[in-house]
Amino acid sequence: MDDENNIINYFNGLFDIKNKILKQVSPSFKEDPLRILRLGRFYAKFNDFSIASETIAFVKEMIRQGILDYINIYNF
């Protein structure tokens, strides 16, 4: 919100929330492989939301590129 209580909505997030859509908004999503896991967590928690088709395609490409190989689950 700005100083006059107007909502700043650069990525049209209010539309997505209203329409119950989970969506990545920039290519920087691929910089952190944990974002895929967070997306899954949000999808499980908000089970009435859907994942945008472009986000599904983006995640599939990240997986194909091996980005999840950088997550070492054995260090937890």
pLDDT tens-digit series, residues 34-69: 899 999 999 999 999 999 999 999 999 999 998 888
Q: Is the pLDDT of residue 75 over 60?
A: no
Over 80: is that where the pLDDT of 70 sits?
no
Please list, in sequence order, all residues whose beta carbon lies within 8 angstroms of the beta carbon of residue 43, skipping any fewer than 6 positions away: 22, 49, 51
Above pLDDT 90, what percent of the chain? 57
What mean pLDDT is reported for the chain?
A: 90
Please state, in angstroms and as integers, the Cα–Cα distance from residue 10 to each residue in 13, 40, 44, 48, following that order: 8, 24, 26, 24
Contact, 52 vs 21, CB < 8 A? yes
Return the percentage of the chain with pLDDT > 70, whole number.
Answer: 93
